[in-house]
Chains A and B, each alone.
Chain A
Amino acid sequence: MGLDIRWPIGLMFSLIGVLLTGYGAMTWSDAALYKRSLDININLIWGVVLLVFGAIMLALAWRGMIREKQQSGPAK
Chain B
Amino acid sequence: MHTQLGTLDYAVLLIYVGFVIGIGFALTRYIKTSSDFLTSGRSIPAWVTGLAFISANLGALELVGMAASGAKYGIATSHFYWVGAIPAMVFLAVFMMPFYYGSKARSVPEYLKMRFDERVRALNSVSFAVMTLFASGISMNALAKLLHQLLGWNYDASLWICSAVVLLYVLKGGLTSAIYTEVLQFFMIVLGFAPVVYLGLKDVGGWDVLKVKLAGVAANPAAAGMIDKAGKVFPADSWTSAWKPLLGGTATNPMGVDLFAMVFGLGFVLSFGYWCTNFLVVQRAMAAKNMGAARRTPLIAAVPKMIFPALVILPGMIAAALAVTHKDGYRLPPKPLDAAIYQKALPAVKQASASGLQGEAAFQAVNNALGADDAKTYKLNPEKIEAIVADDKNGALSDSVLETRIQDAVGETDYDGVILSLVKRYCPTGLLGLALTGLLASFMSGMAGNVTAFNTIWTYDLYQAYLAPNKTDAHYAWMGRAITVVGIGLSIICAYLVSRWSNAMDIIQLVFGFVNAPLFATFLLGMFWKRTTATGAFLGLLGGTATSALFHALTTTTGNVLGIKGGYLWLCMGKNLADVPQCLRFPSDMAQNFWLASFAFGACLALTLGISLATRRTKTDEELKGLVYSLTPKLRDEGQAWYLKPAVLGVALLVCCVILNIIFF
Interface string of B339-382 (1 = CB under 8 A from A): 00000000000000000000000000000000000000000000
Say yes or no for A23: interface residue by CB 8 A criterion.
Answer: yes
Q: From known contacts A12-B184, A19-B11, A42-B195, infer whether A1 and B431 are also in contact, taking CB-CB under 8 Å.
A: no
Question: Which residues of the partner chain A approach B29 to less than 8 Å between Cβ atoms?
Answer: 2
Q: How far is the CA of A24 from the CA of B431 in the complex (A)?
A: 10
Q: What would 5 A/B residue contacts be, using CB atoms closer than 8 Å?
A: A1-B176, A9-B184, A16-B16, A23-B430, A43-B431
Q: By the criterion CB–CB under 8 Å, are B191 and A24 in contact?
A: no
Instruction: Count residues on chain B whose CB falls below 8 Å from chain A CBs.
Output: 35
- A1-44: which have CB < 8 Å to B? 1-3, 5, 8-9, 11-13, 15-16, 19-20, 23-24, 33-34, 36-38, 40, 42-43
B40 CB → nearest A CB, Å: 7
- B511-548: which have CB < 8 Å to A? none
Say yes or no for A58: interface residue by CB 8 A criterion.
Answer: no
Say yes or no for B15: interface residue by CB 8 A criterion.
Answer: yes
Q: By the criterion CB–CB under 8 Å, are B40 and A46 in contact?
A: no
B38 CB → nearest A CB, Å: 14
Interface string of B172-184 (1 = CB under 8 A from A): 0000100010011
Q: By the criterion CB–CB under 8 Å, are A3 and B180 in contact?
A: yes
Q: By the criterion CB–CB under 8 Å, are A2 and B30 in contact?
A: yes
Q: How far is the CA of A50 from the CA of B188 in the complex (A)?
A: 10
Q: Which residue from B11, B19, B48, B434 sits with its C-beta under 8 Å from A46?
A: B434
Q: By the criterion CB–CB under 8 Å, are A38 and B12 in contact?
A: no
B20 CB → nearest A CB, Å: 9
Q: In chain B, what residue has the closest Cβ to A46?
A: B195
Q: Which residue from A8, A40, A46, A49 sits with its C-beta under 8 Å from B23?
A: A8
Q: How far is the CA of A33 from the CA of B432 in the complex (A)?
A: 12
- B20-72: which have CB < 8 Å to A? 22-23, 26-27, 29-30, 40-41, 43-44, 48
Question: Which residues of the partner chain A approach B44 to less than 8 Å between Cβ atoms?
Answer: 1
Q: From known contacts A12-B15, A15-B15, infer whether A34 and B183 are also in contact, taking CB-CB under 8 Å.
A: no
Q: By the criterion CB–CB under 8 Å, are B430 and A20 in contact?
A: yes
Question: Which residues of the partner chain B approach A40 to less than 8 Å between Cβ atoms?
Answer: 199
Q: How far is the CA of A43 from the CA of B199 in the complex (A)?
A: 12
Q: Which residue from B26, B30, B48, B427 sits with its C-beta under 8 Å from A37?
A: B427
Which 5 residue pairs are nearest across A and B when measured between Cβ atoms? A43-B430, A12-B19, A5-B180, A1-B43, A2-B30
Q: From known contacts A12-B15, A16-B15, A19-B12, infer whether A38 and B180 are also in contact, taking CB-CB under 8 Å.
A: no
Q: By the criterion CB–CB under 8 Å, are B431 and A42 in contact?
A: yes
Question: Which residues of the partner chain A approach B180 to less than 8 Å between Cβ atoms?
Answer: 3, 5, 8
Q: In chain A, what residue has the closest Cβ to B176?
A: A1
Q: In chain A, what residue has the closest Cβ to B425?
A: A36
A42 CB → nearest B CB, Å: 5
Q: How far is the CA of A43 from the CA of B29 in the complex (A)?
A: 38
Q: From known contacts A12-B15, A16-B12, A23-B8, infer whether A3 and B23 are also in contact, taking CB-CB under 8 Å.
A: yes
- B223-258: which have CB < 8 Å to A? none
A17 CB → nearest B CB, Å: 10
Q: By the criterion CB–CB under 8 Å, are A46 and B431 in contact?
A: yes
Q: How far is the CA of A8 from the CA of B203 in the complex (A)?
A: 34
Question: Which residues of the partner chain B approach A12 to less than 8 Å between Cβ atoms?
Answer: 15-16, 19, 184
Q: In chain B, what residue has the closest Cβ to A12?
A: B19
Q: In chain A, what residue has the closest Cβ to B183?
A: A5
Q: How far is the CA of A43 from the CA of B427 in the complex (A)?
A: 9
Q: Which residue from A5, A33, A38, A49 sits with its C-beta under 8 Å from B429?
A: A33
Question: Which residues of the partner chain A approach B187 to less than 8 Å between Cβ atoms?
Answer: 9, 13, 53
Question: Which residues of the partner chain B approach A49 to less than 8 Å between Cβ atoms?
Answer: 191
Q: By the criterion CB–CB under 8 Å, are A3 and B27 in contact?
A: yes
B390 CB → nearest A CB, Å: 31
Q: Which residue from B22, B48, B191 sits with its C-beta under 8 Å from A13?
A: B191
Question: Which residues of the partner chain B approach A23 to less than 8 Å between Cβ atoms?
Answer: 8, 429-430
Q: By the criterion CB–CB under 8 Å, are B431 and A20 in contact?
A: yes
Q: In chain A, what residue has the closest Cβ to B16?
A: A12
B369 CB → nearest A CB, Å: 36
A29 CB → nearest B CB, Å: 14
Q: How far is the CA of A15 from the CA of B11 in the complex (A)?
A: 10
Q: By the criterion CB–CB under 8 Å, are B431 and A37 in contact?
A: yes
Q: By the criterion CB–CB under 8 Å, are B176 and A36 in contact?
A: no
Q: By the criterion CB–CB under 8 Å, are B426 and A19 in contact?
A: no
B196 CB → nearest A CB, Å: 9
B448 CB → nearest A CB, Å: 15
Q: How far is the CA of A23 from the CA of B432 in the complex (A)?
A: 13
Q: How far is the CA of A72 from the CA of B27 in the complex (A)?
A: 21
Q: In chain A, what residue has the closest Cβ to B429?
A: A33
Q: From known contacts A8-B23, A43-B428, infer whether A38 and B199 are also in contact, taking CB-CB under 8 Å.
A: yes
Q: How far is the CA of A33 from the CA of B48 in the complex (A)?
A: 38
Q: Which residue from A9, A15, A34, A47 sits with its C-beta under 8 Å from B428?
A: A34
